[in-house]
């Protein structure tokens, strides 16, 4: 299925040297759009999207989409000689080149996470509360019991195929009993890993008792020397403290690395024009919420980015006397409304169709049913004004 839109009746010779091309990809869709200065304001001239096919080359699909948009606009947007978007032209009047190319891409689904901990009430609950701030979904958990075994964990890893395993448990400090329990858990995980192919090994994030971290790493590396282990700050260093940031950052880094391993990533990255850089759709949406809050002079703004896989809630709050906004994020299952959101301000910005069943739409609000806003927002890296003009005029009704 393909979807296209364009502004008609704009002559080839009316184009200026201010054309911006934005590309975007998620696990199911590849999209591109062209923005151009029209009567002193940047407008969304044309956009086109296509469903991604399993195993298809993303850069080849973008080539097709860019050529389709060029045909819609009656101009050349693709450079066949350089196999890239047209950035240089020998005749800038008849064949105006693009000024900038930006890309916001999250071609892989959010990461599947398996939790392992000493109990449900403390270690797993703390880890769960941290993971909802990252591009991930929890698919299961293991609590250490008298019947836990390496074969059981091996079977679970084989059937669920998680991308990440998070180990948590124990408060910081030298507690021999806690250390012994965590080492038993690590031994079971080590035995489970030997039962699956190395190519299927998940990334392991250790977020438990800090004094046991080195021993945990030694145990896990013993039978899987190439295993990726990320040791982060204990998610619950004391009974009264939960550290969300370390796990969330580690998972976000794993997610970004997974996206970078896309076969077409290097080519897509080469198309991006400095000073822009390739960013994820989630990062682009977070920056959009921040920019829109400032543009509309709001003290805070709650935005929602809808995808078929996960919904990303973003809360940007102005910080008095500080550089930048305070940002909170929550990744939740589609149409879910977590209790944690009860303390958030009213939802006012949505990329995707407004979720009327879950959220009443206030009078002061903005919605982009097309879902193009995070892609257009990537233009803010090179032209914040162009981004805001297109959002205001064409997307956020």
Angle of helix 213-223 relative to helix 176-193, nearest 10 degrees, comes to 20
> What confidence score (pLDDT) does residue 5 get?
55
Contact 122/236 with Cβ under 8 angstroms?
A: yes
With a CB cutoff of 8 Å and minimum separation 6, the contacts of 347 are: 302, 303, 304, 359, 361, 362, 365
Query: Which three-class secondary structure state does DSSP give residue 217?
Result: helix
**Is cis: bond before 377, omega within 30 of 0?**
no
375-390 per-position pLDDT tens digit = 999 999 999 999 999 9
15-48 per-position pLDDT tens digit = 445 899 999 999 999 999 999 998 889 999 999 9
Give the residue with greater pLDDT, 46 vs 7: 46
117-163 per-position pLDDT tens digit = 999 988 899 999 999 999 999 999 999 999 999 999 999 999 999 99
DSSP E strands, 216-365: 229-231, 300-306, 311-317, 326-332, 347-351
Rounded Cα distance, 23 and 3, in Å: 15
Closest CA to 59 of 95, 32, 81: 32
* C-alpha separations of 202 from 115, 129, 164, 206, 258 in Å: 12, 21, 5, 12, 12
Q: What is the mean pLDDT of residues 52-62?
A: 87
Element (H, E) at 70: helix 58-73
* C-alpha separations of 191 from 24, 240, 275 in Å: 41, 33, 47
Question: Phi, psi at residue 282, to the nearest 5°?
Answer: -65, -45
Cα-trace Rg, the chain: 24
């Amino acid at each position: 299925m393909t979807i296209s839109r364009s502004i008609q009746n704009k002559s080839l010779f009316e184009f200026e040297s201010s054309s911006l091309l934005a590309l975007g990809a998620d696990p199911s869709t590849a999209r591109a759009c062209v923005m151009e200065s029209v009567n002193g304001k940047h407008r969304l001239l044309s956009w086109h999207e296509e469903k991604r096919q399993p195993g298809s080359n993303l850069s080849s699909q973008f080539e097709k989409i860019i050529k389709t948009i060029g045909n819609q606009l009656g101009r050349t947007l693709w450079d066949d000689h350089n196999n890239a978007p047209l950035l240089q032209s020998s005749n800038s009047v008849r064949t105006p080149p693009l000024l900038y190319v930006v890309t916001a891409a999250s071609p892989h689904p959010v990461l599947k996470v398996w939790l392992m901990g000493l109990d449900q009430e403390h270690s797993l609950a703390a880890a769960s509360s941290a993971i909802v701030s990252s591009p991930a979904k929890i698919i299961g958990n293991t609590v250490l019991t008298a019947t836990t075994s390496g074969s059981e964990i091996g079977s679970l890893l084989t059937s669920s195929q998680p991308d990440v395993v998070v180990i948590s448990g124990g408060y910081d400090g030298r507690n021999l009993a806690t250390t012994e329990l965590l080492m038993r858990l690590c031994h079971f995980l080590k035995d489970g890993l030997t039962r699956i192919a190395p190519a299927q090994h998940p990334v392991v994030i250790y977020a438990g008792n800090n004094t046991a971290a080195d021993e945990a790493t030694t145990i896990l590396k013993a039978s899987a020397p190439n295993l990726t282990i990320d040791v982060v700050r204990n998610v619950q260093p004391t009974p009264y403290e939960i550290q969300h940031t370390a796990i969330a950052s580690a998972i976000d880094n794993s997610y970004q690395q997974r996206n970078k391993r896309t076969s077409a990533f290097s080519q897509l990255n080469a198309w991006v024009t400095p000073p822009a850089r390739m960013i994820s759709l989630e990062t682009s949406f977070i920056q959009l919420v921040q920019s829109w809050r400032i543009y509309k002079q709001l003290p805070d703004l709650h935005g929602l980015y809808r995808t078929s896989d996960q919904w990303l809630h973003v809360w940007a709050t102005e910080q008095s006397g500080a550089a930048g906004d305070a940002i909170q994020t929550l990744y939740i299952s589609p149409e879910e409304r977590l209790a944690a959101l009860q303390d958030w301000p009213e939802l006012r910005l949505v990329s995707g169709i407004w979720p009327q069943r879950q959220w009443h739409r206030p009078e002061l609000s903005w919605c982009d049913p097309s879902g193009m806003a995070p892609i257009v927002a990537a233009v803010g890296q090179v032209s914040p004004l162009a981004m805001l003009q297109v959002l205001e005029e064409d997307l956020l009704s």
